[in-house]
Structure 1
Amino acid sequence: MLTVNMLEAKSSLSRLVEAVESGAESEIIIARNGKPAAKLVPLEGAKEKKGVRLGLLAGKYPPMSLEDLNSTNDEIAALFYGSDD
C-alpha cells in the first residue's frame, strides 16, 4: 500500500492511476497534512474491458491453408465486379 501526499497525487495522478489499474499497486492512500484522506483503488471488472485479446477464436475453426483461402477469390471477384459469362 503506497501513501502519497496531496501535492504529489495532484502532479502525478496519471502515473498513480496506471499503477492501480495495472495491478502494480493494490491501492494508493492520498494524505492531506499527513492524515489519510482518500483511497485510490481499481474498479471491479475494469481490467477485463481494457482491451481486446487477440486469438480468442483459436481452435474454434478448422485449419485452412493459403490455397484453400484463395480458392474462392474468382467467385468473390465475380460477385463484386460481375461475371464475364
Structure 2
Amino acid sequence: MQTLNIHAAETQFSRLVEQAAAGEEIVIARAGKPVARLVRFDAAPPGARREPGCLAGLLTVPAGLDAPLPNDVLATFE
C-alpha cells in the first residue's frame, strides 16, 4: 500500500489510477493523516443484476391498507 500527500497525488494522478486499476491500493493523506483511498473499481458480479418483479407472489398487501385513518389519528397530524 502506497501513501501520498494530496499534492503528490494530484501531480501523479494518471499513474496512480493505472496502479489502482492493476490492483494496488493507494492512500491519500493530508498533513500526514489518511483521508482517502484509491482502489480498483469492480463492477457488480454477473447475476447480481436487479430483476424487476423478482418478488412477485412473495409479498402480500394487507386489506384496508389504503383505508382512511381514524379521526383521533388524523387529529394528531393536524
TM-score by length of 1: 0.48
Letter in 2 for 1:33: A
2:28 aligned partner: 30
Letter in 2 for 1:2: Q
- Report % sequence identity: 52
Q: Which runs of 5+ in 1 are unaligned?
A: 47-85
* 4+ residue segments displaced more than 2 Å: none
Letter in 2 for 1:34: G
Output aligned runs, 1:6-85, within 5 Å. 6-23=6-23, 25=24, 27-45=25-43
TM-score by length of 2: 0.52
CA distance in 2, matches of 1:33, 1:14: 22
The RMSD of aligned alpha carbons is 1.5
* Matched residues, number: 44
CA distance in 2, matches of 1:22, 1:30: 17
CA distance in 2, matches of 1:10, 1:42: 18
Structure with higher helix content: 1
